Every structure is written in C-alpha cells, then in structure tokens.
A = this chain, B = another copy of it.
Amino acid sequence: MSKCGQCIMKRFNALKTLTHEELERFSEHKTSLLIKKGENLMTEGNSINGLYCIRDGKCKLTKLNTNGKEQIIKFIKGGDILGHRSILSDEPVGLNATALEDMHVCFIPKGDILDSIRDNPQFSLNLIRNISLQLSQANTSISQMAQKPVKDRLAETLLNLEDIFGIDNEGCIDVVLTREEIANTIGTATESAIRLLSNLKKDGVIDLIGKKIKIINKNMLKNLSEGY
C-alpha cells in the first residue's frame, strides 16, 4: 500500500503540516477504500471513527430535509478531507457524502488524528481554519438561498462548480451532475432548473452538451448571479 508521506494529496489539505513521523504512523494504520458511484462514504446521523482523505473522485454532501427533499450543501473533490468536524466535536456526521463517480479514499483512524491534534498545534489549527472557512461559506450560502431568486442562484452555482472542478478538454465544467442534482443544489424544482438552463443557452451564456455544461460568458453569469 502506498505511503501517506508520498501521497501528493497531503500537499493540498490540513495534513500538510504533519511531520514525517506522523505521516508514517498514518501510513501504517490507514486503510484504502474504493467508493463506487452512488455509494455513501458517510451517512447523516451515523457516527464515524476516523478521517477520510479523498485521493480522487468527486462526491456531494447532502442533507435530507424534513419534507423529504435532498439538499446539496457542498461538493468535495480529491485533496479534500471529510469527517474532521465529527471527530473534533465528537458528534455524529451531519451530512451524507455520496460519490458522484468512483472514488479512492484513505481512512485514518480517529486515534491517530487525535494524537496529532494533541501533539501538533499547527495541524489542529489547520483543522479549525478549515471548519471556520466552511462556516463562513455556509453563512454566505444561507444569505443567497434566502434572498436571491432561482435564476441568480443558478448562475452563482455554475460559477462555483467551475471554480471547484475546473474545466475539461472541451471547456466544459468538469463534473457530471443530473439536472435534478443541480436543482437540489440551488433549491428549486427540477423542471425549473432545466428551463433556466435552456434560457441561459438560448441567451448564449452557456452551452449544454449532453449533461455537460460549458460557460461561454462568465461575466454575464457573474452579473446574473448579482441580479443584473
């Protein structure tokens, strides 16, 4: 099994401040997982006894509302970590993590993480910063969901998706989502999301190539996301 010390992912996340010794310890205890598309890496309400480090693949973090609808809260990709909030606060997981494509994930047991939190203040601080940033983004999200019309939220979401996942060879946003998933991200009916996407295409702001979306006029999208 490959070593944590050689994994390039450690450069992208809170693990980058770990010492050689800590990474060795992680390597010895970690397990590697293959999560197939559609499977859950974490499930809302379950407890968790370790940290997930995403090597590659993409997943969505969702929450099931009391009315039975799924809300997508956040997207996760290679280099991200999952489960640290639950470990730190010693609480059950709050969100479902469902693979959007096959994922390779490493699982590092809670004990090793807690040891590093105790021994390595910088690691601890990085985890806190990660959660703080998430809180800050969540607050922005609340404000936008509450105040902005669906069209603006769609524009915002498309820009976000390109930011997170980048673009492929054809210039399309490099993630495959169903229209329903897009609708569940912006909080609207699937038909409404489809209609608004069609309008954006008709206006030449985006292009739709199968499920893939290509942003043509980023400035226009930005304006739309701000209500112009």
Q: Which residues of B contact A63 (CB under 8 A)?
A: 139-140, 142-143
Residues of B contacting A212 in the complex (Cβ-Cβ under 8 angstroms): none
CB under 8 Å from chain B, chain A span 45-103: 63, 65-67, 69, 71, 73, 85, 88-91, 94-95
A138 to chain B, nearest CB (A): 4
Q: Does A29 reach chain B (CB closer than 8 Å)?
A: no
A66 is contacted by which of B128, B131, B142, B227 (Cβ under 8 Å)?
Answer: B227
Can you tell how many copies of this chain the complex includes?
Answer: 2
Q: Is the CB of A91 within 8 A of B136?
A: yes
Contact between B142 and A227, CB atoms less than 8 A apart: no
Q: Is A145 an interface residue (CB 8 A)?
A: yes
Is A71's CB under 8 angstroms from B128's CB?
no
Kindly supply a per-residue 1/0 record for chain A positions 123-137, scoring 1 wherever the CB is within 8 Å of any chain B CB and 0 otherwise.
011001101111110
Our pick among B65, B118, B125, B186 for the contact of A148 (Cβ within 8 Å) is B65
A146 with B143: CB separation less than 8 A? no
Bound together, the chains give a CA A124 to CA B114 distance in angstroms of 13
Residue contact A146 to B67, C-beta cutoff 8 Å: no
Q: Are B129 and A89 in contact (CB under 8 A)?
A: yes
Whether B145 and A146, one on each chain, are in contact in the complex, defined by CB atoms closer than 8 angstroms, is yes
How does the 8 Å CB contact mask read for A141-183 relative to B, with 1 for contact and 0 for none? Answer: 1111111100010000000000000000000000000000000
B147 and A67 contact, CB distance less than 8 A:
yes
- Which residues of A line the B interface, CB within 8 A? 63, 65-67, 69, 71, 73, 85, 88-91, 94-95, 118, 121, 124-125, 128-129, 131-136, 138-148, 152, 186-187, 225-227
